[in-house]
Chains A and B, each alone.
Chain A
Amino acid sequence: MRDALRLHSEDDVAVALRPLAAGETVSVDGLAIILRADIPMAHKLALRAIAAGQPVRKYGEAIGEARAAIAAGDHVHVHNVVSRRARNST
């Protein structure tokens, strides 16, 4: 069982395949990522730094943009990524 799955080679994030704990080092496509937060199963972890306002990529597509600077190993979720479509709904 792998720790996390990157769905597309251009993705900024990987998806946890089991609950991952802060401080763990996880290996994704040859990258060693030190987690800065707990990542629940099926949630996303950042594989690299993403500047505020930049797109966050999963499935090789933008799923939204960073609402704050994101570091490699961060939990990527509603607290730091926002939809580009549904801006009025948050």
Chain B
Amino acid sequence: MADSFLGFRRAGGNVGVRNHVLVLGINGLAGAATRRIGQAVRGTVTVATPYGRGQVGPDAAMHTRQLIGLGRNPNVGAALIVGVDRKALDAIAGEVAKAGMPVETVALDDVHEDALALTTIGLKKAAQLVRHVSAQRREAFPVSALRVGVECGHSDATSGLAANPLVGKVSDRIVDGGGTVIIGETLEWLGAEHLLAGRAATPAVAKAVTDAVARREAYPASLGIDLLGNNPGEENIRGGLSTIEEKSLGAVAKGGSRAVAGVLEHAQVPTLKGLHAMDGPGYSPESITGFVAAGAQLVFFTTGPGNSYCSAIAPTIKVSAHPQTPGRLPEQIDFDGSAILGSGEDADTTAARLYVHTLAVASGTATWGEILGEGDEVFVRLGPSL
């Protein structure tokens, strides 16, 4: 089975490419204690929100959706959820546990607000979970089990020329294999949304794409900010980009060329396979957390001059096609695509190499970001705290 990888079987047909014990802090009041537990127990990954109180309406719902989505990510083999009040903790833990893996909890409520006692209990629970997940073995799964987010950050001319189209070719291959690809950053569809809408599976999906762009366009306008006047910016123009269409076409190339099956809200889990467009922010840390909370097990992250940011939960494959960047950042760039522009390697040949590397990472090969601990998750806010 050529197009397969070795992953961890999860309930509901999901497959993890990692077997993390996630230490998930759901309230900033316990953030430091959450991180202390994670640091003390090898084999854990820690995500601790700085928020969690005083949030209402859509902002509260979005925060909760992101926490639950991160907890349910298929790369999580077990979770220790750390909170403040028992009621909020049980509500989130109950939702996370629906993914079918072991979930333990610890709350400051349980220990009379003693963060050190919380640490002791949490540490013991996390240790038990690490031992439990270590017994699980990888099995072969088809590419259709993959859900991959595609992101670009610190882009330059080589991103639109080579790195994004390269990732686009691999995106197509994953979609053709029955898998799922999620492209976000709504603002970078502006001027290329006709292309995404033109590939929409249904008229409703096409309308959702153009409506999402119109909303992103209207927000800065409502604040009196002339978005189009700044885009492409002076740096882009110096770099040879002439219009917003040209800039966005370079960005959406990383989503490949297949039909758009659906438009997702930020952190919304897709119910279909295939290419999806997530209506979300252009700031990479937030955008990537949206993908991961939607269940992406892997992320492609293209860059021109380099960008060290990674997801904590999903291995993040850094791709650069800049002639100098891979050589200058050998412990950051996971895949060197510079041969496309340098020696004139056929882009399909480069894409075949990236596809093989992707399946290797899905099977356990470490990314530089994992080795160096560059991972984080950053939560979107939709309104002010009360």
Contact = CB atoms under 8 A, between A and B. Distances in A.
A59 B243 contact: no
B253 A59 contact: yes
B51 to A, nearest CB: 36
B128 interface: no
Nearest to B237: A78
Nearest to A80: B242
Contacts of B190: 85
Interface string B243-262: 11110011001000000000
A15 B161 CA distance: 8
B161 A61 contact: no
Contacts of B204: none
Interface in B200-256: 226, 228-229, 231, 237, 239-240, 242-246, 249-250, 253
Interface residues of B, number: 28
Given A1-B343, A86-B228, A89-B229, A7 B161 contact: yes
B344 A42 contact: no
A77 B249 contact: no
A1 B245 contact: no
Given A1-B343, A7-B161, A63 B243 contact: yes
A64 B245 contact: yes
A47 interface: no
Contact of B165 (A7, A41, A76): A7
Contact of B243 (A1, A16, A17, A83): A83
B43 interface: no
Interface residues of A, number: 29
Nearest to A15: B161
B364 interface: no
> Which 8 pairs from chain A and chain B are nearest by CB?
A42-B157, A43-B240, A86-B228, A83-B243, A63-B246, A89-B228, A64-B243, A42-B240
Contacts of B142: none
Contacts of B246: 58, 63-64
Interface in B148-172: 156-158, 161, 165
Nearest to B344: A2
B166 to A, nearest CB: 12
B235 to A, nearest CB: 12
B157 A15 contact: yes
B250 to A, nearest CB: 7
B341 A5 contact: yes
A62 interface: yes
Contacts of B242: 44, 63-64, 76-78, 81, 83
Contacts of B28: none
Nearest to A42: B157
Contacts of B229: 86, 89
Given A1-B344, A40-B240, A58 B191 contact: no
A88 B229 CA distance: 8
Interface in B290-348: 341-344
Contacts of A17: 341
Interface string B116-136: 000000000000000000000
A46 interface: no
Nearest to B195: A61
26 contacts: A1-B343, A1-B344, A5-B161, A5-B341, A15-B240, A41-B157, A42-B156, A42-B239, A42-B240, A43-B240, A58-B249, A61-B192, A61-B245, A63-B245, A76-B242, A77-B237, A77-B242, A78-B242, A83-B191, A83-B228, A85-B190, A85-B191, A86-B228, A86-B229, A88-B228, A89-B229
